[in-house]
């Protein structure tokens, strides 16, 4: 049976930390699907469509990855529809661990057949979050090193268009 994993997230924006996790996670499965979820509790930098396009471009070098927009439905429901038997998530810190463990337990309750696979964040990126980068970008700080080049360019373009 084909091993399929779903990596769900809001990826607003996709960071170098996410890319690192995806590059390390993809070889573990036959297919890794990046599910771009709409997180209603967060302010979105890009629309769902923009994110799918930009993330697909940023991950073009990873052969077995596919990026899909996620409807507002449960992760376990989306995984089932995609034929995924695994969820992939990252852990940056003890704080992430506690949050991720609760999500894992709840997902396990909702669908016991779905296994969550965790990778520890690369130490180089373990302190980065999309929300922190957004905050710094908002105040004009330089976060180029933490973003895939096409995503950085898209952000600058959006910021310039907004300012003019």
51 binds ligand ADP (CB under 6 A): no
Show Cβ contacts of residue 95 under 8 Å, excluding neighbours closer than 6 positions: none
Cα–Cα distance measured from residue 134 to residue 138, given in angstroms and rounded to the nearest whole number: 6
Active-site residue, 81 included: no
* DSSP assignments along 4-23, one per residue: EEEEEE--TT--HHHHHHHH
Indicate if 18 belongs to the active site: yes
6 or 21: whose CB is closer to ligand ADP? 21
CA distance 164 to 160: 6
Question: Collapsing DSSP states into helix, strand and coil, what is residue 117?
Answer: strand
* Residue 59: closest CA among 13, 14, 125: 14
17 lies in the binding site for ligand ADP (CB under 6 A): yes
Q: Within 109-128, which residues bind ligand ADP (CB under 6 A)? A: 121, 125, 128
9 or 148: whose CB is closer to ligand ADP? 9
Site map 53..92 versus ligand ADP, x via CB under 6 A: ------------------------------------xxxx
The footprint of ligand ADP on residues 90-109 (CB under 6 A) is 90-92, 96, 100
- Which of 41/164 has CB closer to ligand ADP? 41
> Beta partners for 36?
9, 69
Question: What angle is formed at CA 80 by the lines to CA 74 and CA 81, rounded to 5 degrees?
Answer: 90
Q: Closest CB to ligand ADP among 61 and 164?
A: 61
148 binds ligand ADP (CB under 6 A): no
127 assigned binding-site residue: yes
Q: Which two tokens stand for residue 42?
A: 């967060």
> Which residues are catalytically annotated?
18, 42, 92, 130
Summarize the annotated binding site for substrate as residue ranges.
10, 42, 75, 89
């Amino acid at each position: 049976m084909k091993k399929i994993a779903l990596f769900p997230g809001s990826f607003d924006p996709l960071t170098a930390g996410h890319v690192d996790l995806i590059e390390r996670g993809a070889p573990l499965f036959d297919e890794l699907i990046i599910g771009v979820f709409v997180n209603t509790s967060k302010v979105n930098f890009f629309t769902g469509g923009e994110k799918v396009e930009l993330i697909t471009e940023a991950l073009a070098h990873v052969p077995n990855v596919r990026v899909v927009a996620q409807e507002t439905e449960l992760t376990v429901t989306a995984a089932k529809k995609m034929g995924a038997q695994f969820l992939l998530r990252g852990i940056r810190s003890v704080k992430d661990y506690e949050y991720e463990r609760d999500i894992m337990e709840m997902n396990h309750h909702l669908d016991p057949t779905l296994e969550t696979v965790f990778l520890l964040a690369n130490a180089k990126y373990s302190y980065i979050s999309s929300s922190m980068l957004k905050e710094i970008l908002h105040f004009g700080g330089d976060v180029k090193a933490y973003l895939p080049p096409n995503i950085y360019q898209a952000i600058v373009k959006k910021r310039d268009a907004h300012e003019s």
